[in-house]
Amino acid sequence: MSNLVYLMCSLPSLSFGQSPPISMEEFTSDAKSQLNRKSFAKLEAIDIQNMSLNSTKAELKKFSAMFTGLKEDISEIRHAKTQRRSPRISALPKTILAKNPFEREMDILKWQWEELDSIEAGKTFTLTEVLVYKLKLQILTRLDSFNTEKGSKILASVVNPAKKKEEQWQE
């Protein structure tokens, strides 16, 4: 418990939209030094990018429900698109459907953030708080990677391979 308190107190606070104040490597190394092996294994297992978490354990159940809801909605949106009908989503807010891909991704991340907020509510200095911290840090890291200039270059390099070769040569 004291290690958890120490870990959580030593970590910088996170808010949606900011640049990650700590790298994932730094966080993992801090957590590894402070958590016991069992808790660290749980921390390592949870990953916002890999939503295959399917746990019945109390502390992971809420994460599992969040991931399942998101996966089902994404799947429904894709099916509806191929079947040319309006999707019936349950977890995600319906407003995301009318937005452009960037706004939609931002809204999904914001929704995930808010879900994580509700998961950690009242769980101060518990493993859940550490798990939420990791997921939030992953969200911030991903958000930070969104960049119009880089995105344009990536689009151009896929569409125009000659340009891609030119850029590689310049690098």
Partner 1 sequence: MAGVKIKYTKTERARQKKILKVSLRMLPLFEAMEKSLIATINSIAENIERIREAIEKNEKKATPWVAVMSDSWVDINSFISVHEIITQPVDVAGVRVQQFERVDFNVMPTGEETPLWVDDAVLLMQEQLQLMAEIKCLQDQIELLEEELLEVRARVKLFENRRIPNAQMAIRKIGQKLQDDERLTIATAKVVKTKKREEAAS
Q: Which residues bind partner 1 (CB under 8 A)?
A: 49-52, 71, 74-75, 77-78, 81, 100-105, 108, 141-142, 145-148, 150-152, 154-155, 157-160
Q: Enter the tokens of residue 79.
A: 């099916």
Rounded to a whole number of angstroms, the distance between the first and last alpha carbons of the chain is 49
Nearer residue to partner 1 within complex by CB, 7 or 113: 113
> Burial letters for 108-147: b for 16+ Cβ neighbours within 10 Å, e otherwise?
bbbbbbebbeebbeeeeeebbbbbbbbbbbbbbbebeeee
Q: Enter the tokens of residue 99.
A: 């937005």
CB of 53 to partner 1, least distance (A): 11
CB of 39 to partner 1, least distance (A): 25
Nearer residue to partner 1 within complex by CB, 101 or 122: 101
CB of 121 to partner 1, least distance (A): 26
Residues 23, 27: Cα–Cα separation, whole Å: 6
Nearer residue to partner 1 within complex by CB, 68 or 126: 68
CB of 72 to partner 1, least distance (A): 9
Q: Enter the tokens of residue 69.
A: 């809801």
Q: Enter the tokens of residue 80.
A: 């509806």
Residue 108 and residue 70 in contact, taking contact as beta carbons nearer than 8 Å: yes
Nearer residue to partner 1 within complex by CB, 14 or 74: 74
CB of 131 to partner 1, least distance (A): 18
Q: Which of 133, 121, 136 is nearest to 34 (CA)?
A: 133
Nearer residue to partner 1 within complex by CB, 13 or 50: 50
Residue 158 and residue 152 in contact, taking contact as beta carbons nearer than 8 Å: no
